Structure 1
Amino acid sequence: MHYGESLDYLYGLQRFGIKLGLENIKNLLDALHHPEKAYAVIHVAGTNGKGSVSAALAEILRQAGYKTGLYTSPHLHSFTERIQVDRCPISEADVCALTKEIRASSGSVPATFFEFTTALALLYFARQKVDFVLLETGMGGRLDATNAVTPQLALITPISFDHIEHLGRDLAAIAGEKAGILKEKVPVVIGVQDDSALEVLLAQASQKNCPTWVAGVDYTVIPRGGRFTFAAQGICLENVKPALPGRHQMHNMGQALAGALALREQGVALPEEALRRGVENVRWPGRLEWWGGGDFLLLDGAHNAAGAEVLAEYLTSLRPAGVRWVFGMKAGRNPADLLSPLLPLVKEVYCAPPPVEEAVAVQDLCEAVARHEVPCSAWLSPAEALAAALAQRTPEEIVLVAGSLYLVAAAREHLQQQDEKGL
């Protein structure tokens, strides 16, 4: 089986759609003799910041000398990015071999794409003999395929409205689903939360006798310009400069640091220098990413209301002369969630469809923007929209690409091609 054939098989499993429940993944792990028991798992749920927190804590562990696996979704450019060991993606050859092996072992288990991919990742990490795995939920928590594990630590990042058709239509209901990853007596680090979500999380943690680390109570993050101070239980890290920009990322980095301290309480050796180096060296492309290290082209995967709000806060702090926004969304998303926070900062919008099977129609996006009386144009591709925005940009203006991580990926691929051509 070649890599392309393996991907065809994996993506073909999407015909089973989204299936919430643990029966299939448990059957898969039974067939594979439970590879997830070969290492310590740190389970991460939430709405926004899951990937950043997971990547940061993985980097802290790596800086301390531990071999560390990282499982996240979706990817930017390659399926292999979803499964990494010490920042190195799984090889295409390993994807092929493990796909073939799991197909042979799983028999008639009707696994979905995410269930099969989760099993593949857990098996790969065991074969790589990792010490720790950062395991990010795909959606929700209670019935997410990743919830078949018993972790050493859980983290729940900020909860907001997303996937409401599956998780519930208020924050308390969504928090209840996210809290489903909590296991008896397993410590949990809870990031900044709305009061209604926090109440649910604390109640679930108490019911399961989970030691808790709560943002603003058990640990604090104090931003100062582009740096922050982190303080918790006898430790104070001052003047920390996170690799990822934005005030919200400081809170994400603080949650990762609190997770590291929770692990230290369990006997994991994590020197302070590793804590600092971890957040100062973490990489997470496509999230408030200044292309090429410059100061005028910003790529961000914001795709829901909470993400748009933190993006708007960051842009406001920069006080640009104007923002030219390349905008596109995957079908099922509500354009208003992004338009309301961002359009007051925007001079012109360039709408283009992200490269997904179903996207919000560009005409619908333009009509939604027009209701706010902001100039808008329609383009056939992200590359054309980006070229137009860059061509019309004046000094001191920012070009922003946001609305979908798939849109960001398309823009990055176009920019990489331009760089390779020397343009």
Structure 2
Amino acid sequence: MTYKEVLDYLFSQLPMYQRDGAAAYKADLKSTWDLMEVLGNPQKSLNCIHIAGTNGKGSTAHYLSSILQEQGYKTGLYTSPHFVDFRERVRINGVMISEADVICFVTQNLQKVAEIRPSFFEWTVGLAFKYFQREQIDIAVIETGMGGRLDSTNVVDPMVSVITSIGMDHMRFLGNNLLSIAGEKAGIIKKERPVVVGTMKKEVKKVFLQKALEEESPIFFVDDKYAKEDYHNRNRALTVKTCEVLNSFGLMIDQTSIDFGFQKVVENTGWRGRWERLNSNPRVVADMAHNEDGLKEVNRKLSKEDYFQLHIVFGSVYDKDVDNIIEILPNNATYHLCAADIPRSMPVAELRDKFDSKDLVSTPYDSVGDAVKRAMQIADNKDFILITGSTFVVAEAMLLF
């Protein structure tokens, strides 16, 4: 198989939550455990940090990976989804897995796992764990895909679990209130393994305290003084707390590595998609915020920008609470509505109806590319263009720059 044929197989023939939604969701981890067994249980050989949360888990994963690299540890990083290149999901010291290694893994295991019928996400988890094992990394930073308890990454026995934040997202699968969602995220807490929890409401903290008590797990909370900080500072505080916990359990992470890890996170890890500047004249920024809490943070960022006219390229998917998200969006913007090229995307006609009901100025477009190009055509150098609402809209937009 060629690399293209391997990707076509993974993307086209396998259930994929990001594309297909509920059709790809599995209600237990049996097939993941079966897959690990066939692969020789590579997860058992990994020293890892396991990260879950509604928002901030990607940021925290990249921060920790960068810091560990600065300290000299050979660091594996598994994140999802990817933006432009599938291989973004699996990195060692910031370097993406090679196309040859992706081909080799899939072709070697295609027949072995045929009866298991792994999902797209299970394949990528298996790929990452096996690759990290083969390359004998020192530590892996593993980001969950969705939830925690039933996420395919939740077959690891981590050095420490990290829970970044709890908000309303993926309610169809995780529950329609914060306590239910917290219960799903708490599923990554393992027996006698420490857990670090970000700033959150008192009633939500109780969910994690109870789970930690049941598992006899030491639990550490980030100081509440960071609760009113922006998400970068909250995630940094969580990262520092995690480093402190890792030090207390035998790792060596010094302040210099923490400082340089924060400074060089993009260089070290290839981090993308969070308030990323794609163009200067006019200014174009992309942010993958796709739920209420994420969009609130984007608004904070916008409030610090100086511009004449605001243009927002916006798209979403069916399982997001778009009605509540629209309530958060700025009233003074011109909206360019679009749908990413995946089945889960909310059609632009439906989006337009929702925006019209809120008296927001919007125009629908046939594609992300058309929306971005039109926004750039009518914006002048004093204007600001924001691309947001969906990871997949941002990913397609990135290809244009």
Query: Does 2:131 align with 1:124?
Result: yes
What is the match of residue 14 of structure 2? 13
Distance (Å, rounded) in 1 between the aligned partners of 2:353 and 2:114: 49
* Unpaired segments ≥5 residues, structure 2: 17-22
Query: Does 2:301 align with 1:314?
Result: yes
Query: Does 2:329 align with 1:328?
Result: no
User: Structure 1's 90 and 309: CA in aligned 2 closer, same or farther, altered over 3 A?
Assistant: same
- Please say if residues 304 and 333 of structure 1, whose CA atoms lie closer than 8 Å, have aligned partners that are also in contact: yes
Q: Secondary structure of 1:259's match?
A: helix
What is the match of residue 244 of structure 1? none
For 2:263, which of 280, 295, 298 is the aligned residue?
280
For 1:50, which of 44, 54, 57 is the aligned residue?
57
Q: Secondary structure of 1:318's match?
A: coil
User: Structure 1's 106 and 347: CA in aligned 2 closer, same or farther, altered over 3 A?
Assistant: closer
Query: Does 2:341 align with 1:358?
Result: no
The 5-angstrom pairing of residues 4-403 of structure 1 reads: 4-11=4-11, 12-14=13-15, 17-216=24-223, 247-283=230-266, 284-292=271-279, 296-318=283-305, 320-344=307-331, 346-403=332-389
2:329 is matched by which residue type in structure 1?
A: L
Offset from partner CA, 1:241-289 (integer Å, 9 cap, x none): xxxxxx2111112211211111111111111100111111112211111
Identity among equivalent positions (%) equals: 32
- Out of 205-214 and 117-126, give the one that drifted further: 205-214
Distance (Å, rounded) in 2 between the aligned partners of 1:396 and 1:205: 51
What is the match of residue 239 of structure 1? none
User: Structure 1's 295 and 394: CA in aligned 2 closer, same or farther, altered over 3 A?
Assistant: closer
Offset from partner CA, 1:325-367 (integer Å, 9 cap, x none): 11111233332232111133x3211111112233211111122
Offset from partner CA, 1:372-422 (integer Å, 9 cap, x none): 22221111222221122122224533111011111111111112xxxxxxx
Distance (Å, rounded) in 2 between the aligned partners of 1:140 and 1:96: 29
User: Structure 1's 196 and 131: CA in aligned 2 closer, same or farther, altered over 3 A?
Assistant: same
- Please say if residues 67 and 131 of structure 1, whose CA atoms lie closer than 8 Å, have aligned partners that are also in contact: yes
What is the match of residue 227 of structure 1? none
Offset from partner CA, 1:1-58 (integer Å, 9 cap, x none): 2112212222212177211322111111112221112220110011111111001101
Distance (Å, rounded) in 2 between the aligned partners of 1:352 and 1:204: 41
Distance (Å, rounded) in 2 between the aligned partners of 1:97 and 1:104: 13
Distance (Å, rounded) in 2 between the aligned partners of 1:357 and 1:84: 28
Larger relative contact order, structure 1 or 2 (CA cutoff 8 Å, min sep 6): 2
Distance (Å, rounded) in 2 between the aligned partners of 1:13 and 1:365: 28
Shift of 1:147: 0.8
Matched positions, count: 390
- Please say if residues 64 and 274 of structure 1, whose CA atoms lie closer than 8 Å, have aligned partners that are also in contact: yes
* Unpaired segments ≥5 residues, structure 1: 224-246, 416-423
Distance (Å, rounded) in 1 between the aligned partners of 2:208 and 2:99: 39
2:168 is matched by which residue type in structure 1?
A: F
Q: Secondary structure of 1:124's match?
A: helix
2:6 is matched by which residue type in structure 1?
A: S
- Please say if residues 125 and 152 of structure 2, whose CA atoms lie closer than 8 Å, have aligned partners that are also in contact: yes
- Please say if residues 83 and 121 of structure 1, whose CA atoms lie closer than 8 Å, have aligned partners that are also in contact: yes
- Out of 381-390 and 151-160, give the one that drifted further: 381-390
Distance (Å, rounded) in 2 between the aligned partners of 1:161 and 1:347: 25
TM-score, with structure 1 as normaliser: 0.88
